[in-house]
Amino acid sequence: MRRPVEMYSACAWFAAAGALAGNPAWAVLTPVAASVGALGLAAVGVWRARDGVRLLRYRQRLRVLPRFALAASEIPVSGSGLYLGRGFDWDVRHATRLAQVREGRNADLARPTAGYMRVRRLVRWCEQHGWIRTARVLSADHPANPWRPLPPVGGYAPLHAVGLWEGEQDAWLESSERVGHKAVIGTTRCGKSRLLELTLIQDIRRGGNVVIVMDPKGDAGLMTRAYVEARRAGRPFYLFHLGFPDVSARYNPIGEFTRITEVATRISNNLPAEGQSAAFRDFVWRYVNVIARSQIALGERPSYRRIYRHAANIDPLLIRYFENLLDSRDDCGKWRDEIAAERIDPSTLDKALKVRMQDAVRLVQFVRRRAIHDDVADALAAVLSNEKSYFEKLVSSLFPLMEKLTTGAIADVLSPDYDALDDPRALMDWEAVINQGAVVYMGFDALTDREVAGAVGNAALADLVSAAGRRYKYGTGYGQPRVAAGRVPIILKIDEFNELIGKEAVPLLNKSGGADFEVECYTQSIDDIEARLESKAAAHQVLSNFNTLVMLRVVDEQTARYLTDKLDEVPVPTLVPKSGATDTNDPERFDEFSSRNEDSVSYERQPLVSAADVVKLPRGQAFVLMNGGQLKKLRIPLALPDPDEEMPASIVQIAAQMRSRYQRIFGADQDEDDAHMEPACGGSFSGARPGLTVEGKGSGF
């Protein structure tokens, strides 16, 4: 933090070199010898000036960092690692320098200069008095402007500048570490979306994988970036968005499973489970499980629409299942004639059966007389034996959720008609996505209906967990006539993780690594996860599965301590100057007083990074804990605009409506989620077509 005293000696050396070269006679040297001597003196001056300039540059960067920006085409891609930005390994040296900058005598080094502040006041004065052109010149963001405005990143610049003495290096996350999953925590508009976009570009271009993006709120820039990169790489692209069902791919979250019980679990997990609600949820689970088992036995694929239809009136499903059961048995003979001839006396029926369909009652009684036992039939008969109004009260919590999932245009998206060959919207399921090596963007439109977004997101995650289980047990190519060679990584990126998290997250994180799942979760704080799971222990159970932690700026101390508590305390030296004087009254001594000056160094143990440091991070900067405790400080590159890309008009329309909706709700453009982000693409687009599945070469497996 000292002054660049090297510049004084450099000036002296240059002056001596100039004097010697200009008048060799002063040194009693020949012109040739004087020239050689002057070159030597100048070389020493250059050496000293270089050290001085290095120190001056270091002091300047304490106020403002050099700009770091990359266009999408300039982002490096490697098969051995994931590029995160530029930075350095943070250690005790940087903690020491940071403590020195914060000392009172050095505090001005991190503040804007007085001249810069006067120019900023002049700009405001010019704007108020109509000198707009002068204000624009003084505010121009151009290298030629000596009063160039500081970038709007906020925070405390020395947090990164203290590492620029040695210089920055490219920061990479090894591919072997990605299977351990990565958590990115940062408050809104601090760089999460930019980091997600940075990693998304690399993963799509790298190929040989499956890339899935889950976005609860719907980020227009992220969606268009996923499409652009998938198109550039020649990979299939699926767009699933609940906010735009007319162009969304169709996806049945409960249509694929390993065990039939998964259907009931995916639906009932969205119901409350606290207190007495847990018992009602168990009733719902059993009811839905009976319906799902019946549908599978009849050769039907479960869907929200079918589950809701049969839950509201189970009698037709019972009739079809019992008829199918009796038709499959050889010992029932002409059972249809027997049932048709049977007459039922309503007075002899139980109260629960009086309101049921007569055909259903006849079938149940016939099966009971014949002592035919079938698990599904017995379960259906047990449901029929319950009083209808009473049973509906037990499962009443199911109906509001199913009503939301089957109302409006999203019903055709979540409960697709597989026989509708004239529907241009693609059909999507995880096995097809994995086999094609596709890129998937899923927008859940949580700003419109958070409950529906959470229900569909939870079911989609559970569906992925089931797919991971099949891959773990049976390997790649499950269900295919030939098993593909090698393992295909499935990279799952979940923005606003707290909006979609549920019980499905735990097995997804702690057991999916063996199925080559690489999960990246983005959230704003630990409190959001705790609020969603309604348990601090459950939140820490989820967080303990992330081997890599990226901590951007946060606003609460608890979240910041989640990083800092994992770091060691280090001895930080502190310079303590001491001075004193002592006088003497002895008339026989010559000295009348004595003085002393000394500097002592003391060491105090301090955290390597404090919670306050995390709160003060500038936008686009982060601490990264990776590779078993290695701490890095990095900067995420700013986004530079790319050349215009041709895109279907439907994609352009969706992106525009997403931005408009975000601006209407929050009063800000969605692309400002990171102030330094540019739109992923722009310009005019052509070649529109209704289907959004892009045909391509896939990933070559």
Question: Which residues, listed in sequence order, are joined to residue 439 by a DSSP beta bridge?
Answer: 211, 237
User: How many H helices and E strands in the chain?
Assistant: 29, 17
Rounded distance between C-alpha atoms, residue 640 and residue 34, angstroms: 53
The two tokens of residue 227 are: 């499409």
Inter-CA distances, 266 with 221, 284, 307, Å: 30, 11, 12
Quote the DSSP letter at residue 109: G
The two tokens of residue 581 are: 């004087």
Q: Helix (H, G, I), strand (E, B), or coil: what is residue 625?
A: strand
Nearest residue to 640 (alpha-carbon basis) of 674, 670, 680, 675? 680
Strand blocks (E) in 386-508: 427-428, 439-443, 490-494
Rounded distance between C-alpha atoms, residue 427 and residue 250, angstroms: 5
Mutual angle of helices 398-405 and 304-312, in 10-degree steps: 140
pLDDT at 647: 67
Neighbouring C-beta atoms of residue 257, cutoff 10 Å: 20
At 420, which amino acid appears?
A
pLDDT at 158: 92
Could you tell me the mean pLDDT of each successive run of 10 residues in the chain, 701 residues long?
86 93 84 91 94 90 87 90 95 91 83 87 91 89 84 88 92 92 92 92 93 89 90 93 91 92 91 78 92 94 94 91 86 74 67 71 84 90 82 86 91 92 90 91 89 90 84 66 63 91 79 83 92 86 92 94 92 82 73 78 89 94 92 90 64 74 56 40 32 35 26
CATH topology for the 176-251+420-581+594-629 domain: Rossmann fold (3.40.50)
pLDDT at 330: 67
Neighbouring C-beta atoms of residue 485, cutoff 10 Å: 8
Neighbouring C-beta atoms of residue 285, cutoff 10 Å: 20
With tokens 């199913």, the residue in question is 402
Rounded distance between C-alpha atoms, residue 676 and residue 640, angstroms: 9
Rounded distance between C-alpha atoms, residue 634 and residue 169, angstroms: 9
With tokens 């847990």, the residue in question is 278
Provide the CB-side half-sphere exposure for 46 (13 A, CA): 6
Rounded distance between C-alpha atoms, residue 483 and residue 406, angstroms: 37
Nearest residue to 258 (alpha-carbon basis) of 444, 469, 454, 1? 469
pLDDT at 15: 94
Q: Is the dihedral of CA 128, 133, 134, 139 positive or negative?
A: positive
pLDDT at 699: 31
